[in-house]
C-alpha cells in the first residue's frame, strides 16, 4: 500500500504538476494516457490486427489517397515552418538559450498553438504505416520504422504539454523544412513513378537528414551548461537518439552512395527519424534487378527495410 501511494505521489509530482495548463484545452493533451494509448493502439494495428485482416485480402490501390496525403504533408509542414520563422526566429528568438514564454500573451499562445499542431501532425504521420498495412507492404514495417513514429508522438506530446516553445522550436524548424522537401519528392514520384530514377537530388535528401541530426545534437548539448529553463533530462533523450539516427543514416549513405552495394544487399539500414527512415528510404535507389512498381507512394519508391 505504501509503495502504491509513493508511486501515485511520484506520478503527480513528475507527470501531472509540471503540465502547462494552456494547451490542455485542445484534444489529446493533458493526460499521458493519450499518447501512450494511441501508441499502444498504433502498434497493435500495424503489427498484429492490420496484417491479420489483410492476410487474405488483395492489397488496396491507394495512389490518389497517397497523392493527397503527400500534398497535405507538404502544405502543413510548410505552414509550420512559416510559423517557426515568423513567430520565433524572425521575432527575436535566440539560437542560444531561449526560454519558454509561459504567459498568455497573444504571441505566446500562437507559439503554443504551433507546437500543439506539430504534435497533431505526428499523430497524422501514423497513417504512413497504416497505408503500408493496407498495401500489404509488411516488410516496410520494421522495428525502427514503428519505433520512430511512436517515439515522435511521445516526444511531441511532451513538448506541447510541458514546454511549448523556446529551445524546442529549433528542432521543429529543421524537421518541418526537411519534411517539406521529403514529401515534395514523395509527391512527385507518386504522380509520376518514372521520376524516381530521374530526380538527381535523391541522395541529397539523406545528406539533409544527416545535417539535421547533427545540428539538433549540437544545439541540444548547450543545455548542459546553460540554464535555459529546460529540464536537463531532455539532453539525455535527444542527444543519444539523434546520434543513433545519424549513425544509421551515415552507414546507409556510405553503402549506397560511396560504394556500389552488392546485388541483393539490403538497400536501407537507416529507418525512421524526424521523418525517420523515410528520408533515407526516399533517397535510396531501387535495386536494378527490379522494375519500378506501378502503385506509388513512399513504400513503393523507397527500398524495403531489411
Burial code (b: 16+ CB inside 10 Å, e: under 16) for 246-268 equals: bebbbebbebbbeeeeeeeeebb
Q: What is the dihedral of CA 3, 8, 14, 15, to 10 degrees?
A: 140
Using CA atoms, how far apart are residues 11 and 49, in angstroms rounded to an integer? Answer: 32
The H or E element spanning position 172 is helix 168-191
- The C-alpha cell that represents 182 in the structure block: 521529403
Using CA atoms, how far apart are residues 148 and 179, in angstroms rounded to an integer? Answer: 14
Tell me the catalytic residues: 148
Distances, alpha carbon 115 to alpha carbons 83, 108, 176, 228, in Å: 10, 11, 12, 18
Nearest 5 degrees, angle CA 190-CA 57-CA 186? Answer: 10
Query: In degrees rounded to 5, what are phi and psi of residue 304?
Result: -75, 145
Amino acid at each position: 500500500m505504501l509503495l502504491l501511494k509513493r508511486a501515485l505521489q511520484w506520478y503527480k509530482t513528475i507527470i501531472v504538476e509540471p503540465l502547462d495548463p494552456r494547451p490542455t484545452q485542445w484534444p489529446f493533451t493533458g493526460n499521458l494516457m493519450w499518447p501512450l494509448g494511441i501508441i499502444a493502439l498504433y502498434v497493435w494495428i500495424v503489427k498484429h490486427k492490420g496484417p491479420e485482416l489483410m492476410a487474405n485480402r488483395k492489397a488496396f490501390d491507394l495512389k490518389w489517397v497517397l497523392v493527397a496525403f503527400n500534398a497535405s504533408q507538404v502544405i502543413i509542414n510548410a505552414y509550420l515552418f512559416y510559423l517557426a520563422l515568423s513567430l520565433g526566429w524572425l521575432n527575436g528568438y535566440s539560437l542560444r538559450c531561449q526560454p519558454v514564454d509561459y504567459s498568455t500573451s497573444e504571441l505566446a499562445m500562437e507559439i503554443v498553438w504551433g507546437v500543439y499542431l506539430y504534435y497533431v501532425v505526428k499523430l497524422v504521420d501514423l497513417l504512413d504505416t497504416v497505408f503500408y498495412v493496407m498495401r500489404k507492404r509488411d516488410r516496410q514495417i520494421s522495428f525502427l520504422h514503428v519505433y520512430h513514429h511512436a517515439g515522435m508522438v511521445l516526444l511531441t506530446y511532451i513538448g506541447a504539454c510541458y514546454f511549448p516553445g523556446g529551445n524546442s522550436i529549433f528542432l521543429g524548424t529543421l524537421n518541418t523544412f526537411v519534411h517539406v522537401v521529403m514529401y515534395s519528392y514523395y509527391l512527385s514520384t507518386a504522380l509520376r513513378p518514372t521520376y524516381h530514377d530521374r530526380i538527381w537530388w535523391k541522395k541529397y535528401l539523406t545528406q539533409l537528414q544527416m545535417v539535421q541530426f547533427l545540428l539538433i545534437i549540437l544545439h541540444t548539448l548547450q543545455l548542459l551548461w546553460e540554464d535555459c529553463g529546460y529540464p536537463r533530462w531532455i539532453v539525455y533523450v535527444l542527444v543519444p537518439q539523434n546520434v543513433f539516427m545519424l549513425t544509421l543514416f551515415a552507414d546507409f549513405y556510405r553503402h549506397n552512395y560511396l560504394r556500389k552495394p552488392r546485388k541483393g544487399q539490403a538497400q536501407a539500414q537507416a529507418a525512421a527519424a524526424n521523418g525517420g527512415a523515410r528520408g533515407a528510404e526516399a533517397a535510396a535507389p531501387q535495386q536494378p534487378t527490379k522494375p519500378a512498381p506501378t502503385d506509388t507512394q513512399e513504400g513503393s519508391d523507397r527500398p524495403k527495410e531489411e
